[in-house]
Amino acid sequence: MRVVLYVFSGTGNTLKVAALYKKFLERDSGNTVDIHRVSRKNGEIPDPNGYDLVGVGYPIHGFSAPEPIIKLCKSLPAVQNKRAFIFKTSGEGLHVNDCSSQKCIKILRKKGFDVALERHVVMPYNMIYRHNDAMAKHMWIYARALVDMNCRELESGVREKVKQPFYKTFYCPPVRFLEQKFAHLHGTAFKVDPQKCVKCNRCVNICPQSNITVTDGKYKFGHECVLCMGCSFGCPQDAISVGVFKFWKVHGSYRLNELEKDENLPFPYVPNEAKGIYRLYKKYYREADAMLKKYGLDARDYIPCKNDIK
């Protein structure tokens, strides 16, 4: 089976999840997976007609898919009953995000895609607040387990009705419209502190929208920003200010590959060790455990220091 994953990722969370899909789908099966990172720099989009399965992955922005993914869906050619699935990431597992794929699914179905599954993978926040190390480890190990489960579903032809509850759909279009317009406007307020900046141009290279330009050593942010926060999150000197989001700014890698092997960090963290706001994640992980159990899977088996990926 040939699989293509169209992925938008600002800080890298969704790209990490896409890499898990590739690893598990290609595991001893003869499948091949191509990951196409959605970016204004990447040029030609792989034709979905050359694949047996199409995946669309994105981080949730304002209860919806980010603008580049919606544009990607619109740009895809028509197909005939092509099987497709969606995976999305966010920093919380709240059901308020259930309808985030509403617009994408509508576009894809009109083009002939058969959207059979959607999965929501919780990953550490890149905005609002920084998760502690134990929670980040918990999220990443569960991400491994849930992606493995989803790959088994895809390989066995599982089909589900993608969640589109009517009472939740009404707020998605207006919030999506406002978030996208605000992103274009507010992105110009991002600034680089010349006292901290070392001119590495990492922000320029990270930005999937090609929104950052350099003229005579001065950095300018244009009107194509989608608030992915890749520039500020990835700046090695923390030299980028983000306007009104300065109190929500999260900076720097979570070092997930190190945290997952740290035996001093408890796992599972939710619900037994979790305190404060982390207790709000109990429902999401109870549901995750129930889904994993159907396939005879247990998230504890995905701790690398205990047992490498199945």
Give the model's pLDDT for residue 166: 62
Kindly report, residue by residue over 105-129, the tens digit of the pLDDT: 999 999 999 999 999 999 999 989 9
The confidence band for 309, taking pLDDT boundaries of 50, 70 and 90, is very low
pLDDT at 49 over 90: yes
pLDDT surpassing 80 at residue 306: no
Domain count, the chain: 1
Q: Which residue has the tokens 């701790």?
A: 303
66/305: higher pLDDT: 66
pLDDT of residue 167: 58
Mean pLDDT score, 250-270: 94
Q: Which residue has the higher pLDDT, 288 or 307?
A: 288
Check: pTM over 0.75? Answer yes or no: yes
Bridge partners of 79, per DSSP, are none
How buried is residue 42: exposed, middle or buried, by Cβ count under 10 Å (0-12/13-18/19+)? exposed
CATH number at residue 85: 3.40.50.360
Residue 103's φ and ψ, nearest 5 degrees, are -65, -45
Does residue 307 carry a pLDDT above 50? no
Q: What is the pLDDT of residue 37?
A: 96
Give mean pLDDT, residues 81-99: 92
Q: What letter represents residue 181's amino acid?
A: K
pLDDT confidence band for 203 (50 / 70 / 90): very high
| Cα 27 off chain centre by | 22
Does position 227 have pLDDT exceeding 80, yes or no? yes
> What is the enclosing helix (H) or strand (E) of 292?
helix 282-294
pLDDT digit string (tens) for 20-34?
Answer: 999 999 998 789 999
Identify the residue with better confidence: 122 or 166. 122
In this predicted structure, the answer to whether residue 308 has a pLDDT above a threshold of 70 is: no
Residue 237 has pLDDT above 90, yes or no: yes
| pLDDT for the residue 41 | 82
Residue 214 CA from chain centroid, whole number: 28
Question: Would you put residue 211 in left (φ > 0), alpha (ψ -120 to 50) or beta?
Answer: alpha
Tell me the residue range of the domain where 23 lies.
1-310
Q: DSSP readout, 186-225?
A: HGGG-EE-TTT-----HHHHH-TT--EEEETTEEEE-S--
- For residues 178 and 153, the model is more confident at 153
